[in-house]
Amino acid sequence: MRLIIIGGGIAGLSAAYYATKNTQFDEITLLEADSRWGGKISTDRVHYNDGDFIIEGGPDTFLATKPWGVALCKELGIADRLHGTNPKTKNTYVLNKNRLLPLPEGLAMMIPSDIPSVLRSQLISWPGKMRMGFDFLQPAKSINGDESLGNFVSRRLGREAYENLIEPLMSGIYAGDGDQLSLASTFPYLRDLEIKYGSLARGALEMRKKMPSTPGSRSAFLTPTTGLAEIVEALVENLRLKSVKLHLNTSVTAIHNLQPSTFNLELRNGETLQADAVILATPAPISGKLLGAIDPKLAADLQTIPYASTATVSLAYRQADLSRPLDGYGYIIPRREGRKALACTWTSTKFPHRAPDGYALIRVFVGRAGQTLTPGPSPFRGGENPPLPPGGEGLGVRDDYLLALAREELQLTLGITAEPIVSRVFVWENAMPQYNLGHPELIKRINAALENIPGLALAGNGYRGIGIPDCINSGKLAVEKLSEKEMMR
Ligand SMILES: Cc1cc2nc3c(=O)[nH]c(=O)nc-3n(C[C@H](O)[C@H](O)[C@H](O)COP(=O)(O)OP(=O)(O)OC[C@H]3O[C@@H](n4cnc5c(N)ncnc54)[C@H](O)[C@@H]3O)c2cc1C
């Protein structure tokens, strides 16, 4: 059986890896439109003064508690390259009226569980703290169906706790608007805590008891020593050794179903390829576009999943040029602060080996759902980006504008006025899928439609999880969908 996988991000690479373990595939081909592998995983290693800056353009760690990331690294023989975040300084700050205030201690799955620490926190006013206390008193609400994350947290903990605490934490993951995001698709465990314990804080406390807390215990977040690209490099090497056909600079423009389980793929270069099975590991709107000739309804559903644009700007400084110690992992910025940046990671504190001695590396995140920075030409490969969802807007900005914006953020908040010695800008247009209200129903419809197309599977961050472990698992599940049994139908 000939399998073609479209999209060489972590989901497509993982799908190819798991397909090599399945003997039913005689020929496996992976097609990637870009000139490099990895999609959103993009590590720049910049040599400077006998050391290296390890600059991540996209993700910089993955969650250890979701098993699929660690499992893949073990299989690839690179698990010993994984390390956690710096255990010495775990502070994270929240920007609040231009001041950096520490997050309360004892957050478990975003929810505060350490009551004295919440009472001490200046992030929430006294009326706000009293409102948070209602969480212990009000029973679980009986709701049929879904609700927005913003609505759920506001009704349990109050609007102030949502806006000052939970919203910026959540934004760091989805770059989304919590009043639009589906609770069931993003943080379903929060509703489980409400139902099981009748209180988020009580539930969070129970969860915290189960978490390892001894010094030196494994970090919740892991990353390879010289960046997440190590996983991509190990995967590509593994696939080469197993004779997978790997093609960069190869963009698919349409797919046709010749007869059940035989597909014709049209490429941008005019060529046509045939396959018995296809995995689409492209962003959902692109997958939708490619499937237009096979199932117009499925194609339309896929194209309605909105994606937010975002950018990261990494800047390196001499430690001597900083007016304040970078004594934590960085800070997050609530939407209500009205800043264009949404978070700032102090990379060289979070991962000390990612900057040469005597230097600091800082990364500013810019752009969130619904935000437009400034009109202007897009710096990106026009054709390959997914179409903007209705009402959505890209960043449409140039690198120098983003650089200036990041420097302005650092000047305002950290007082840094020095010229950076190294800077890198990465813009990710339509990169972060938004699991908005209605997403669970959409996924059900998409899965039902796929049942009727044997030999076709989807993978990637658009459906059931945005994090790297979820994307790896999506690749694995896509291969399972193409099992012999399904293909015999
Ligand atoms: C700034 C940023 C920070 C993040 N931080 C984290 C983090 O710290 N931890 C974490 O777990 N996750 C993080 N994420 C999320 C995570 O990185 C992504 O969800 C994940 O990498 C997406 O992988 P993917 O394979 O689904 O898609 P992609 O990486 O988007 O891969 C899709 C691939 O398909 C290719 N393609 C598109 N069209 C075609 C076509 N027509 N033909 C052939 N190929 C095509 C694209 O070029 C691309 O390479 C972050 C994301 C961003 C943008």
User: Residue with structure tokens 């015999």?
Assistant: 488
Whole-angstrom CA distances from 340 to 174, 294, 311, 330, 448 are 16, 41, 11, 16, 40
pLDDT at 142: 87
Name the token pair of 151: 């609505």
Contact 98, 411 (CB under 8 A): no
Residue having the nearest C-alpha atom to atom 11 of ligand 1: 467
pLDDT at 167: 93
Residue having the nearest C-alpha atom to atom 12 of ligand 1: 467
pLDDT at 206: 87
pLDDT at 396: 46
CA angle 387, 390, 394 (to 5 degrees): 55
Contact 58, 227 (CB under 8 A): no
Please tell me the distance between residue 39's alpha carbon and the centre of ligand 1 in angstroms: 5
Task: Report the residue among 31, 251, 282, 364 best suited for mutation to probe ligand 1: largest number of ligand atoms under 8 A from its CB.
Answer: 282
Ligand 1 pocket check for 431: Cβ under 6 Å: yes
Q: Which atom of ligand 1 is nearest to the CA of 428?
A: 53
Alpha-carbon distance of 472 to 59, in angstroms, equals: 14
Predicted TM-score (pTM) of the model is 0.93
pLDDT profile of the chain (489 residues), mean per 10: 97 98 95 97 92 95 95 97 90 94 88 91 96 93 90 96 93 87 94 93 85 58 96 98 98 89 94 96 97 97 93 95 94 89 95 94 85 45 36 53 88 95 90 95 97 94 97 97 68
Beta pairing, strands 92-96 & 330-332: parallel
Task: Report the residue among 31, 36, 40 best suited for mutation to probe ligand 1: largest number of ligand atoms under 8 A from its CB.
Answer: 40
Reference 479, options 459, 454, 451, 450; nearest CA is: 459
Alpha-carbon distance of 397 to 443, in angstroms, equals: 32
Which domains are present in the chain?
A: 2-39+230-305+436-488 (3.50.50.60), 102-210 (1.10.3110.10), 306-433 (3.90.660.20)
pLDDT at 113: 87
Ligand 1 pocket check for 31: Cβ under 6 Å: yes
Contacts 24+ apart (CB under 8 A), 297-304: 297/449, 298/446, 298/449, 298/450, 298/453, 301/442, 301/445, 301/446, 301/449, 302/446, 302/458, 302/462, 303/387, 303/389, 304/389, 304/442
Alpha-carbon distance of 169 to 288, in angstroms, equals: 31
Please tell me the distance between residue 122's alpha carbon and the centre of ligand 1 in angstroms: 37
